[in-house]
Amino acid sequence: MTQSGFIFYFQREIVKYYILRRACLAFRKIFLERGSVCPFVECTTIASTCMKVFRRNFLCGEEIGVIPAGGYKDNHSRKAVQWMERELNQRISHAGRGREFRIAGTPADEYYETDLANEANSRSDMAVVMEKWECDFDREIRENNEMRDFLENAPIIKNSPLDPRDAFFGCRTGNIATRCDVAGTEKIRYIDVCSLYPYALKTGAFPIGHPKIYIGEECSELIGVAPDFDFSSIEGLIRCKVLPPRDLFHSVLPYRVRGKLLFALCRSCCETFSQAKCTDSLAEREFEGTWVSCELRKAVEKGYRVSEVSEIWQYKVTRYDPDTRQDGLFTVYINSFLQLKQEASGWSNECVDDEAKERYLREYEETEGIVLDKNNIARNSGLRSVPKLCLNSFWGKIGQRSNLPNTEIVKNYQRLAALLTNPEHEIIDILPVNDEVIYVSWRLQEEAVVAFPQTNVVIATFTTALARLKLYEHLELLNRRVLYYDTDSCIYISTGDPNEYEPRTGNFWGDMTDELESYGRGSYIKDVTIVHLHSTNTDPVRMYTPIICESLLAPPDSHEALALSKNLHRRSLKRKFREGKLASRSNGSRFDSRHSIITIIQIEKEMPTRIKGRSETDQLLYLREHL
């Protein structure tokens, strides 16, 4: 690519590279000193670097179990089970019911050759070997409608082994009101949890080792029998059926449907995205899924009823003890980088003299269990960004999928043929670049996947569940005064009534912090409009929050300018919304005719939507009736 008239200033550019080199050396020094890891030699991403630091310096033996790629249950052929259930019409012992039946110590489905089957028969007169080829079974299903209907609706066949990734949900996000105008002494507050996920990693209870698995009737040993299930002693994953209450304003359990994460009280309404009043029966409202024990206990506390439990993964757990400052799976790692982050953040605004500084150091040690070095406390934004990155990017690596796609550059026919004919590979895409090079994207077949030694999705499920529960602590107390919530933050109406719950703010981890404090202490929102937009093409979600803030400390001129600019933005947004001109930018890339990668910028028209909550005819009037 050439540009006419462009002048390249070598001295200016070489200074930038010199600064970059010094920054890389400083970045490398932090990881070498804190974890004896070189991020440029041993790792490729910041997440893998953090995981390497944790495993090398803080992880003890036998703490994180590597979950087998196929799970802990015996693998079984679902088609074989379907055939036996249909033909014999009796109870069959198979992995779907808990344990694979074994003949002389060997799982029955491993006897597939004639000589092995004869040998098994000779050793056990009780064993009856039956044979069915899969191709014949598939043909019978296609030709027999009655058989196909039976197999699709048989409940025991649907009971596949528990997949821990089914319990791995993200954060909760929802807009309760699309618009709200305050009146009288009401104010709109905007708060969020300080370092939510690192706080959960440090203080939460996490599973260690491998679980003890209870299936079907075995679960009654731990929780009793329905309807008086007791989950107080369970620490792990629970697969069950639950019936939510009808009158809970903020639901507890997440449910994934059609690629979207919802928090609702009716399964049928979720599956149809119904906005009407729910009239479904109890069976239609009932959810079936896998959830973390701590979140399920909270759901039961809020009125959810568990009708059936099919499987439990029971773990031993470890949790940080603030009194002894011991235990906790990630506590030492978190404290190591938290100390560096806090020292690089500088002194707080309250530390105006030596006495205030000593009090700050003492309070921080009592609260977080970390001794700060007063000689190292100085504001350094660049240094602060490194430990902050390590604290927030660390846990995601634990939940990484094992079967990620691979892209290989192929330059000879033999390698291409090997990829295409390998039974362990599933070819995703083939892109010819030129006459000599082909890009081949592939991933492993499910049976060939090997578990990553640095991942454990159960720990990741605990992390997100603990984070959701921390936010829910405030949502359930604020109840109908909540206007919007997202991951770790909440926008709500403050009435000024001393008898109503008001979240307390603080400066330590897990405390609520005031997001509007940057406008001046005591700032609040006077008028708010929250609009969710999505495109019918790429389905991105956006939130626009034009606000007017009244600061008790800001000078009048700055206040008027701020209010004017925000008000103009709000008017512009409303006008574009009415005219249907709101749009989002969707960036993508493709190859041109010369096989060069070019960037494509598309503009999609967006339409308003509210799929995560019930849409009232007039949400403002609805709120007024219930506040």
548 has a pLDDT exceeding 50 = no
pLDDT of residue 70: 78
Percent of the chain with pLDDT over 70: 71
Residue by residue, DSSP assigns 332-388 as: HHHHHHHHHHHHHT---TT--SHHHHHHHHHHHHHHH-----GGG----HHHHHHHH
49 has a pLDDT exceeding 50 = yes
**Greater pLDDT, 206 or 604:** 206
Give the mean model confidence (pLDDT) for residues 172-195: 86
pLDDT class of 5 with cuts at 50, 70, 90: confident
> How many other C-beta atoms lie within 10 A of the C-beta of residue 285?
20
pLDDT of residue 120: 55
For the entire predicted model, the pTM comes to 0.76
Residue type, 270: C
127 has a pLDDT exceeding 70 = no
* pLDDT tens, position by position, 349-391: 788 888 999 999 998 998 888 999 989 999 998 899 999 999 9
531 has a pLDDT exceeding 50 = no
> How many other C-beta atoms lie within 10 A of the C-beta of residue 97?
17
Torsion of CA 384, 387, 393, 398, to 10 degrees: -170
pLDDT of residue 78: 61
**Considering just the CA atoms, what is the radius of gyration of the chain in Å?**
29
pLDDT of residue 558: 38
Give the mean model confidence (pLDDT) for residues 523-536: 49
Percent of the chain with pLDDT over 90: 41
For residues 288 and 271, is the Cβ–Cβ distance under 8 A? no
* pLDDT tens, position by position, 565-583: 444 445 554 555 455 444 4
pLDDT of residue 89: 65
Beta-bridge partners for 541: 534
pLDDT of residue 7: 82
31, with CB counted inside 10 A (0-12, 13-18, 19+), is buried
- Cβ neighbours of residue 210 closer than 8 Å, sequence gap 6 or more: 65, 72
pLDDT of residue 19: 94
Domain boundaries of the chain, sorted by first residue: 8-42, 74-96+134-160, 173-195+457-565+594-605, 205-319, 406-448
Rounded to an integer, what distance in angstroms lies between the CA atom of residue 276 and that of residue 440? Answer: 48
398 has a pLDDT exceeding 80 = yes
Query: 232, 219, 199: which is closest to 298 by C-alpha?
Result: 232
pLDDT of residue 110: 53
**Greater pLDDT, 547 or 327:** 327
532 has a pLDDT exceeding 90 = no
Rounded to the nearest 10 degrees, what angle do helices 78-88 and 145-153 cross at? 110
Runs of H (alpha helix) within 155-310: 155-158, 196-203, 220-223, 267-272, 282-285, 293-301
Q: What tokens appear for 71 in the block?
A: 């799970």
**Greater pLDDT, 605 or 310:** 310
User: Coil, strand, or helix at residue 66?
Assistant: coil
User: Coil, strand, or helix at residue 313?
Assistant: strand
pLDDT of residue 520: 67
Give the mean model confidence (pLDDT) for residues 606-627: 45
* pLDDT tens, position by position, 67-94: 988 788 765 566 566 666 666 666 565 5
Query: 150, 149, 148, 152: which is closest to 137 by C-alpha?
Result: 148
What's the mean pLDDT when you consider all of the chain? Answer: 78
pLDDT class of 396 with cuts at 50, 70, 90: confident
* pLDDT tens, position by position, 207-257: 999 999 999 889 999 999 888 899 999 999 999 999 999 989 999 999 998
Q: What tokens appear for 578 in the block?
A: 């009415």
Residue type, 496: G
Rounded to an integer, what distance in angstroms lies between the CA atom of residue 203 and that of residue 462? Answer: 12
Question: How many Cα atoms are found within 13 Å in the side-chain-facing hemisphere of 371?
Answer: 1
Q: How far is CA 414 from CA 314, 411, 419, 420, 422, in A?
A: 49, 9, 9, 10, 12
pLDDT of residue 30: 92
pLDDT class of 186 with cuts at 50, 70, 90: confident
Rounded to an integer, what distance in angstroms lies between the CA atom of residue 199 and that of residue 455? Answer: 20
Rounded to an integer, what distance in angstroms lies between the CA atom of residue 621 and that of residue 178? Answer: 11
* pLDDT tens, position by position, 412-431: 999 999 999 999 999 999 99
Q: Which CATH architecture has domain 173-195+457-565+594-605?
A: Alpha-Beta Complex (3.90)
